[in-house]
Amino acid sequence: MADEASSTHSGVQSTPFVRRIPCKRCLNHYAQYPTKNEEANGAQLVACCEDSSASDECTRCKHGNKPCEKIDKAFIAVAKKLHEHAQAGYTDKFKKYQLAGRKALFKMQNRSRARNRRTKKDKIAIKEHAREARALTDLKIRLDMANSLSVIANAASILAYNKWHTVATYDREVADNYQGVLDDEADEIEYAESDSDEETEEQA
Ligand SMILES: [Zn+2]
Ligand SMILES: [Zn+2]
């Protein structure tokens, strides 16, 4: 890790060095300095420094275990001024830029709040869209099911019709056969009757 840092920044080995642009937390430190605590402790201004590890965080954020955030482009110039003067200490020139630094921080906070609001709105819109998509899928499934059911019902009615048709044909055959039997019987009866007629005729 140390090797990597020293190779990237030759001449700086295991020694913290001042960043070109301070981070948001360090800008806040510059703008608010000295806070009541810092005044009570007699704490000095501390510049935003790269730490000796390959970490992207500055020493302040790393030690505080807090995210090291970049400054919005629009406020880099103000931040750099404070940063430069901070390295000379709590001077009048430094004090002159503190108000601008506080204003920059205030504006950045408002911007990030607006961004969060937009993100929230987007998230709601995405959720709404997902819900609509789910409802549509649900509807499609129901329609598919309804279609399938109607196909099945149709098939069932065709099957029933065919069955009836088959049964009807079968019945007709039976009926025809039965009619044939009846006809034969009728013929036989007629024949017998005619026989008896003949007999009576003969007898007469
Ligand atoms: Zn910093
Ligand atoms: Zn930082």
Supply 202's token pair. 């003969």
Examine residue 94 and state whether it is found in any structural domain, yes or no: yes
Examine residue 14 and state whether it is found in any structural domain, yes or no: yes
Neighbours of 108 (CB within 10 A): 19
Examine residue 150 and state whether it is found in any structural domain, yes or no: no
Highest mean pLDDT among 3-7, 168-172, 181-185: 181-185
- Compute, in angstroms, the gap from residue 59 CA to the centroid of ligand 2: 7
pLDDT of residue 9: 39
Examine residue 20 and state whether it is found in any structural domain, yes or no: yes
pLDDT of residue 7: 35
- Compute, in angstroms, the gap from residue 71 CA to the centroid of ligand 2: 10
- Compute, in angstroms, the gap from residue 82 CA to the centroid of ligand 2: 15
Residue 53 pLDDT exceeds 90: no
Q: Rounded to whole angstroms, how far apart are CA atoms 180 and 176?
A: 6
Residue 108 pLDDT exceeds 50: yes
Examine residue 46 and state whether it is found in any structural domain, yes or no: yes
Contacts of 118 (CB under 8 A, 6+ apart): none
- Compute, in angstroms, the gap from residue 114 CA to the centroid of ligand 1: 24
Phi-psi region of 168 (alpha: psi -120 to 50; beta: other; left: phi over 0): alpha
Residue 165 pLDDT exceeds 70: no
Please provide the distance, in angstroms rounded to a whole number, between the alpha carbons at the two ends of the chain: 144
pLDDT of residue 171: 65
Structure letter (DSSP) for residue 65: T
Q: Rounded to whole angstroms, how far apart are CA atoms 4 and 13?
A: 10
Examine residue 91 and state whether it is found in any structural domain, yes or no: yes
pLDDT of residue 4: 38
CB-proximal residues (5 Å) to ion ligand 2 = 23, 25, 58, 61, 68
**For the chain, what is the radius of gyration of the CA atoms?**
50
Report the number of distinct structural domains present in the chain.
1
Q: Report which secondary-structure segment, H or E, holds 199.
A: helix 92-203
For 21-34, what is each residue's pLDDT tens digit? 999 999 999 999 99
Ligand closest to the CA atom of residue 46: 1
Ligand closest to the CA atom of residue 27: 1
Examine residue 93 and state whether it is found in any structural domain, yes or no: yes
Examine residue 100 and state whether it is found in any structural domain, yes or no: yes
Domain that holds residue 104: 2-114
- Compute, in angstroms, the gap from residue 60 CA to the centroid of ligand 1: 5
pLDDT of residue 163: 67
Q: Is the distance from CB of 71 to CB of 23 less than 8 angstroms?
A: yes
